[in-house]
Structure 1
Amino acid sequence: MSDGTTTLMTYSINGNSQDYITGLGHANDIALMSNGGNYYMYVVTMATTGASLVKLQYVGTTYTEVGSYTITYGGAEKAMSGVKIIEKTASDADFLFKLGTSYYKGTLGLTAPSGTIAVTNIFNLDVADAPVDGATVSGIDTWASQGIGYSDGLLYHIVTNDNVSIVLVYQSVLDFYDDPQSPAPTLASDPTLSFRVTSSTYSALFEIEGVGVASGTLWFGANRATTSGGANHDCVCTFNGYVAS
C-alpha cells in the first residue's frame, strides 16, 4: 500500500472472512514486524486484564490472529497504550511499551502464540514542562496521550486536544533501553524537534494517533472532523519538509 491508495483489509477466521475483528479493545497503537518472509502487526488493546497485546499476521489484504499475550508489571496485569519494536534477534522481539508518560521494555519470543510479557519501567517523560515553539503549553499534561513513534534513537510522544496535536520528541532513548537505571529517570524533550499542528480546516478534531518514519519521511495517522459529531475524515498522511536531526 505504498502507492497512496486506501485498501480495506478483511479478517479471516477458520477460513471465513469478516469485515472486522473483535477482541482488539481500543487498538490504540500497532507495531509492524517481518519474520521468515511473513508479516505481522502487534496491537496494544489497552485492556487491563486478559489480552494486552494481540499478534496479527497479514497476507495481502487479509489478516488472521496468531497470538495473544498478557502484559504484567510488578506481578500485576497492566494495560498499555503505545507499542514499538526496538530490536529483533534470531529468537525474540524487544518491545517498547507506553502508558501515559511511563515507558517500559519487554521481550517476546518471535513464534510464541501466547504467554506473559513481564515489563520493566525504563524511563518516564516530562511532558508538563516540555517547550513547544519556544514556550510551555498550559495544561498539556492533561491532554489525551496517543500512540508513539520510534526511529533511530528518537521517540515521538503524541498528545492531542481538540484540533491541536503536539508531537514531543525525545533524544537517545535507546541508551535507557539498553542500560536501565533504578529508579527510572525522567527525560526532557528536545525543543528543536518537537512541534505543534493546529488545523483550521478540521477545526472540530485533528487528533494525530500515531507517527512513523520511513525513508526520511514522517508519516502520521489522524482522526479529523470539520464539525462536532460530523463525518470523520480520517487519514494516513505525511509531513512535508520535516527533518529529524
Structure 2
Amino acid sequence: MQTINRTDAPATGTRPGKVRLGIRDVEAFYGQIQALRGVSLDVHEGEIVTLLGSNGAGKSTTLKTISGLVRAQRGEVQLEGESIAKLAAHEIARRGVVHVPEGRRILRGLTVKENLELGAFTVKDNALRRQRLDEVYELFPILHERRHQDGSLLSGGQQQMLAMGRALMHGPSVMLLDEPSMGLAPKLVTEIMRIIKRLNEAGTTILLVEQNARLALRLAHYAYVIENGKIRMQGAAAELRQDESIVKAYLGVGE
C-alpha cells in the first residue's frame, strides 16, 4: 500500500496530469464552530477524486468553500495555480468550477428546459447554448421528453439528472458533486454513476462527495478521507478499496 498516506499533506508525486484544483491548509467556520481544520487536497486534470467521511466530517463544507458558498478564513483555494479563494461564488462559476449541491435545488415553477437554461447564464453565444442543450438531452433523454414539465415534479433520479445537466450547460472544467446518489433506488444509483464515469471519460474533472464509500472508491481514481474537519488519509482509490481494515475504520458506510 505504498500510495496510502495517513497524513493531511497532499501526495501529488505519483499522480498523472497537472493539478487542476488545489486547496491548501483551508480553515472554515460556521459562526464560532470550526468546520474545516487545515484541509489540503488536490484534484488533477482528468481525475475523479472522491472525498469520503461520516456525516458532519466536513465533506460538503469543503465543496462549499471551493465554490465560494462558504468563505475560507485561512488557507488557499487555487484553480490551475491561480487563487480563487476571495472570489464570489458566481465569479468562481465563471472560471469553470460548477457545484451540484446536495438536494439538487431544482427551481419550482420553472420547466426542465428553463432550469437547464439557467445553467448557461454566463454563456452569451446562442449557438453554443443550443449545442450544450442538445448535448444534455442526448446524455439524459428523459429530460428532453419532459422538457416542458415543471422540474420540481420530476422523480428524485430525474431531478439529479436535471441538476447535473444544468451544471453541464455551464461547460465546467471542474464539477463538484455532492451526494449524487442520495435517496435514489439502487438501479438509479447505478445509472447516475455510469453517467459520472462517462462525463469524466469525455474530459470533465470531478470532485465527488459520496456517502456510499465502496461505490465511490470503485468509480474514483484517488480518494481522501476527512474526519472532524481534517484529512486523515489519502491514496489511490483502488488500494484504499482493497484494504478492509481501512474500509471498516474510516469508511464503514454504504455497500
TM-score norm. by structure 2 comes to 0.28
Q: Which has the higher contact order (CA 8 A, sep 6+)?
A: 2
Q: Larger % of strand: which?
A: 1
